[in-house]
Amino acid sequence: MTQGDKSLDFTQGIDATGGSGCENIYYELYYRLLSHEMSLAISSYHVGTHSSISEICAVQADCSGSMATIKNIEFMSGTSEIIPEPDENDNEPQPDPTLIIMEEASNYISDCWEGCTECRKAYYDNDPNYIFGHCVNDIVYRYGNQCNSSQDRSRCSTMEMDFCFRAYPADSDLRWKDPDNKCRSLIEFNRDLTFPWLYKSKNTSNLNRGMCILDNDPYLQCALSWDSNDPAGNKGYTSMYRPRP
Is residue 27 in some structural domain? yes
Q: Is the pLDDT confidence value at 36 over 70? A: no
Domain count, the chain: 2
pLDDT of residue 94: 79
Residue 150 is assigned to a structural domain of this protein: yes
Give DSSP secondary structure letters for 56-67.
Answer: ---SS--TT---
- Per the domain annotation, does 161 fall within a domain? yes
Paired sense of beta strands 198-199 and 222-226, if any:
antiparallel
Q: Do the domain assignments include residue 82?
A: no
Residues 118 and 26 grouped into a single domain: no
Regarding whether 142 and 28 lie in a shared domain, the answer is: no
Full-prediction pTM beyond 0.75?
A: no
How, if at all, do strands 99-105 and 118-124 pair? antiparallel
Using one digit for the tens of pLDDT, what is the confidence trace for 143-189? 999 999 999 999 999 999 999 999 999 999 999 999 999 999 999 99
| Same domain for 210 and 104 | yes
Angle, alpha carbons 169-123-185 (nearest 5°): 25
Are residues 107 and 219 located together in one domain of the fold? Answer: yes
Q: Which residues contact 22 (CB under 8 A, 6 or more apart)?
A: 12, 14
Instruction: Tell whether 48 is covered by a domain.
Output: no
169 in a domain, yes or no? Answer: yes
Q: What is the largest CA-CA distance in the chain?
A: 101
Residue 47, domain member (yes or no): no
Residues 18 and 129 in one domain: no
| Residue 57 resides in a domain | no
Of 17-31, 132-146, 199-213, least confident by mean pLDDT is 17-31
Q: Are 183 and 162 in contact (CB under 8 A)?
A: no
Q: What's the pLDDT score for residue 32? A: 59
Instruction: State the distance between the two ends of the chain, measured CA to CA, in whole angstroms.
Output: 75
For 72, phi then psi, to 5°, come to: 60, 35
Q: Which residue in 158, 172, 143, 160 sits closest to 238, CA to CA? A: 143
Find the domain containing 225 and state its range: 99-243
Asked whether 185 and 155 are in contact (CB, 8 A), the reply is: yes
- How many Cβ atoms are within 10 Å of 146's Cβ, its own excluded? 21
Clarify whether residues 15 and 117 are in a common domain: no
pLDDT score for 37: 54
Q: What is the mean pLDDT of the chain?
A: 83
Are 139 and 227 found together in one domain? yes
Euclidean distance between CA atoms 105 and 157, whole angstroms: 5
Q: What are phi and psi of 143, to 5 degrees?
A: -105, 145
58 versus 193: the higher-pLDDT residue is 193
Instruction: Write down the pLDDT at residue 224.
Output: 98
pLDDT in tens, 39-83: 666 665 555 555 555 555 555 545 555 566 667 776 666 565 566
Percent above pLDDT 70 for the chain: 66
My answer on whether 223 and 120 are in the same domain is yes
Report whether pLDDT(38) > 60: no
| Secondary structure element (H or E) that encloses residue 127, with its range | strand 127-137
Indicate whether 105 and 218 sit together in one domain: yes
Q: How far apart are CA 99 and CA 104, in angstroms?
A: 15
Phi, psi of 102 (to 5 degrees): -80, 165
Distance CA 2, CA 10 (A): 11
